[in-house]
Amino acid sequence: MKIFDCIAWILLVVGGLNWGAAAFNMNFVEMLFGAGTTAAQIVYGAVGLAAIWAIIRWNFCSSSCKM
């Protein structure tokens, strides 16, 4: 499970940076892969799955992550 956590974390950082760049009218995913391409859709899908994974894992460990 740790490998999935690391991959999800990396994808969430990529997604967060891309959203931050959107504030300046830049989209790194589309710059790298092209707008509306299959590769770009795969990246967006992977980031979405990473978010779902993080939500599931957060609920799993939230009892030990008290703030």
Assess whether pLDDT exceeds 70 at residue 64. no
Cα separation of 10 and 2, whole Å?
12
Both tokens assigned to 42: 């795969």
Read off the pTM: 0.77
Angle 58-28-44 from CA coordinates, rounded to 5°: 45
Give mean pLDDT, residues 16-32: 94
Tell me: the pLDDT tens digits for 27-60?
A: 999 999 999 999 999 999 999 999 999 888 876 6
Instruction: Give the pLDDT confidence score for residue 28 in this predicted structure.
Output: 94
Nearest C-alpha neighbor of 43 from the set 30, 26, 24:
30
Reported as half-sphere exposure (CB side, CA atoms, 13 A), residue 58 has a value of 8
